[in-house]
Amino acid sequence: MSSGVDYAFIQNGALEQTSGGVTMPAGGRPTVRSRRLGAALKRHREAAGLDQAAAAEAIMKSVTKVSRMEGGLVSASALEVRTLLDRFEVQDPGERARLERWARASNERGWWLDYQETVRPDYADHITLESDSTNIRSWEPALIPGLLQTPEYARSVITSGPTFITPERVDQLIEVRQERQRRIEAGGTHFTAIIWEPAVTALSDDPDICKGQWLRLLDTGRRQNVTVQLLPASASKIAGMSGPFVAFSFGVEPNVEAVAVRNVANTSVVEAPADLALYSNVFDQLRSAAMSPQESAGRIRQLLSDAEQPTKEAP
Residue 246 CA to residue 248 CA, distance in Å, equals 7
Q: pTM higher than 0.85 for the full model?
A: no
Cα distances (Å, whole numbers) of residue 227 to 80, 193, 222, 271, 295 = 39, 6, 8, 25, 12
Return averaged pLDDT per consecutive 10 residues of the chain, 315 residues in all.
Answer: 40 34 47 83 95 96 93 88 96 89 77 81 88 94 97 95 89 95 92 98 93 98 97 96 95 87 84 93 97 98 90 53
Query: Which of the 8 DSSP states describes residue 3?
Result: S
Domain 19-105: homologous superfamily in CATH: lambda repressor-like DNA-binding domains (1.10.260.40)
Tell me the CB-side half-sphere exposure of residue 183, using CA atoms within 13 A.
24
Helix (H, G, I), strand (E, B) or coil at 310: coil
- Tell me yes or no: is domain 111-308 CATH 3.90.1170.50: no
pLDDT of res. 254: 84
pLDDT of res. 2: 44
Domain locations in the chain as residue ranges: 19-105, 111-308
Residue 41 CA to residue 55 CA, distance in Å, equals 10
Give Cα 9 to chain centroid, integer Å: 18
111-308 and 19-105 share a CATH fold? no
pLDDT of res. 107: 65
Please report which residue ranges of 106-232 form alpha helices under DSSP H: 121-132, 151-158, 167-185, 197-201, 207-221
Cα distances (Å, whole numbers) of residue 72 to 31, 36, 131, 132 = 7, 8, 19, 17
pLDDT of res. 26: 41
